[in-house]
Amino acid sequence: MSGRLLKLLGCAVLLVAAGACSRQKEEPKQGSQSATGASTAPPKADAPAKVRLALNWVPEPEFGGFYAARESGAFSRHGLEAEILGGGAGAPVPQMVATGKVEFGISGADELLVARARGLDVIPLFAVYQTSPHAIMAHASRGAKNIEDVLSSGTVALEPGLSYVAFLKKKYSFDKVKVVPYDGGVARFLADKDFAQQCFVTAEPIAAKRQGATPTVFLVAEEGFNPYLAVVITRRQYWKEQPERVKSFVAAVREGWRTYLDNAGPTNAVMGKLNTTMDAETFAEGAEAQKPLIETEETRARGLGTMNRQRWEQLSQQLVELDLIEKAPAADEFLLPEFTGSRD
């Protein structure tokens, strides 16, 4: 999965909260009888609230829990009818959420902080990846032990503008390696043993292995830059207007991710029909590869999707040091105690 932070979708949303039909005051209450003694029909239950979730890439394992929430009925059990909008290169999700075009979206934690620095009303609710899946992969034959070794020679393909690329450049300067633009796929990697590239652990390394290569993968998180990824976001105004609906959405998402982590097969089959470029085996391998990045000791203790203020504050300061934002926002400006602060 290439250029994940720059490949965002465009879509619009219509939110409809459908209420039950009104009843006349003289109608008997549920369970009562009419004047003739006949039982009356119970009132209709409220229709589920329609919401849309905008993804920032096409259906792949990184979004498995959201589709599982829909397919398993978790959204329905929480009174929601959720439409999941698969994405790709397109309009930026944070802007769409901030302007109310969609109720919920998926973003990286670093993206969210940059968006807030630009005045957008976006807040985080749930973080799928506790460890960022962004990585650098090199051929095992090079014998590299870490990213510093990879960046000491050869060629590396990186997409300019990504925050983790800025972090690596500041840490290692790139003086000893030739940096070329990342253009997606693994063709150049397969053809050149001295070629390294950025990757998403559930995508490019698996593709390279399937085509006969032996990549070694180094997580950027191990270098000290570890933003939450696949973060569910909404706008603060929507939270103020519909707090119970937001809580219900997060609860359903948590159930969906539990379902997907326990048994990804059925949901992979659904996503496979939406994304025919990925075969069933790759879906299965990707779902397995991401498990340790999603479920950790912290999530086992505090719940899937958990976040904490300290990590958000650390990331904010890192973005300031990288000159990606001018000032670190106060945590209380964008973190809700219901999903972050009260858990620390």
Residues 200-222: tens digit of each pLDDT: 999 999 999 999 999 999 999 99
Query: Where do we find the tokens 């009356």?
Result: 40
Tell me how crowded residue 275 is: count the other CB atoms within 10 A of its CB.
15
- Type of residue numbered 102: V
Q: What is the pLDDT of residue 184?
A: 86
Residues 109-146: tens digit of each pLDDT: 999 999 999 999 999 999 999 999 999 999 999 999 99
The domain ranges of the chain are 49-130+226-339, 134-223
How are beta strands 215-219 and 134-139 bridged, if at all? antiparallel
Q: What is the pLDDT of residue 7?
A: 40
Q: What is the mean pLDDT of the chain?
A: 88
- Tell me what the mean pLDDT of segment 153-158 comes to: 98
Are the CB atoms for 214 and 141 separated by under 8 Å? Answer: yes
- Type of residue numbered 291: K
Percent with pLDDT over 70 in the chain: 85
Instruction: Give per-residue burial for 183-201: e unless 16+ CB within 10 Å, then b.
Output: eeebeebbeeeebbbbbbb
Residue 162's pLDDT band (boundaries 50, 70, 90)?
very high
Residue 38's pLDDT band (boundaries 50, 70, 90)?
very low
Q: Is the dihedral of CA 239, 241, 247, 252 positive or negative?
A: negative
Q: What is the DSSP code string of 97-146?
A: HHTTS-SEEEE-HHHHHHHHHTT---EEEEEEESS--EEEEEEGGG---S
Q: pTM for the complete prediction?
A: 0.85
- Tell me what the mean pLDDT of segment 307-325 comes to: 97
Q: What is the pLDDT of residue 247?
A: 98
Q: Tell me: pLDDT of 30 over 80.
A: no
- Type of residue numbered 257: W
Residue 46's pLDDT band (boundaries 50, 70, 90)?
confident
- Tell me what the mean pLDDT of segment 141-161 comes to: 97
